[in-house]
Chain A
Amino acid sequence: GDSVVQTEGQVLPSEGDSLIVNCSYETTQYPSLFWYVQYPGEGPQLHLKAMKANDKGRNKGFEAMYRKETTSFHLEKDSVQESDSAVYFCAPPSGAGSYQLTFGKGTKLSVIP
């Protein structure tokens, strides 16, 4: 089935550092890509999405470009803030008739103030 591979474990940038969290997927069958974010004590929630190839999802200063040629959807931010600290999950591509079942393993972002 569809799957993704993302940067695993914990990332510890300092406030103001730039950030890249890698996400690579295996299929190009479906058009939409998503990142979800989970804050402590809460369920995951949509962070950003791109609906088709070459689209860029944006939210709270984060960006992710849907690159079909490299099958990637890396999450980037120029200058992280302490409030960005959370766990980020990359979801496999989806579209009508498909369902996002197997998320990436999650990347814990802990921004050092």
Chain B
Amino acid sequence: GAGVSQSPSNKVTEKGKDVELRCDPISGHTALYWYRQSLGQGLEFLIYFQGNSAPDKSGLPSDRFSAERTGGSVSTLTIQRTQQEDSAVYLCASSSPAAGNTIYFGEGSWLTVV
């Protein structure tokens, strides 16, 4: 597609439930990133993929968080047993050396855990 697409745009879930957030990067972009942004805060790096592999998972806050990428394209961020502190906007982004390494962000998935 023309831009990075994320779904759902909004998700309200009960504490303890699992959620999946999906990201469709820009076609041909080899790098894909997940960030978390709490209200009024900065960009917290979670994980990035180069192709289907994740060289850096250092930002995942706990083992309840996992992510995968398949076919060098779509990525899914999964949060298990959600907690209220997981409430935030989850931003996906992609980039490519061929595109000058500029990071292109999606509009984000707003997660609210009640």
Contacts and interface: CB of A to CB of B under 8 A. Distances in A.
Interface of A: 32, 34, 36, 42-46, 49, 51, 89, 91, 94-106
12 contacts: A32-B101, A34-B103, A36-B103, A42-B107, A43-B107, A49-B102, A51-B100, A95-B101, A99-B33, A102-B45, A103-B45, A106-B43
Given A44-B105, A101-B48, A106 B42 contact: yes
Given A32-B100, A43-B105, A91-B103, A99 B48 contact: yes
A101 B33 contact: yes
Contact of A49 (B4, B43, B100): B100
Nearest to A102: B45
Contacts of B4: 43
Given A44-B43, A89-B42, A100 B100 contact: no
Q: Name the residue among B41, B43, B93, B105 with the largest chain A CB count within 10 angstroms.
A: B43
Mostly, the A contact residues are: loop
Nearest to B105: A43
Contacts of A101: 33, 45, 48, 56, 59
B31 interface: yes
A103 B42 contact: yes
Interface string B84-114: 0000000101010100111111111000000
Contacts of A95: 101
A64 to B, nearest CB: 15
B50 to A, nearest CB: 8
A32 B100 CA distance: 9
Nearest to B55: A99
B101 A94 contact: yes
Contacts of B56: 101
Nearest to A31: B101
A103 B35 CA distance: 10
Nearest to A6: B42
Interface string B28-58: 0001010000000111010010100000100
A95 B96 CA distance: 10
A56 B45 CA distance: 27
Contacts of A49: 100, 102
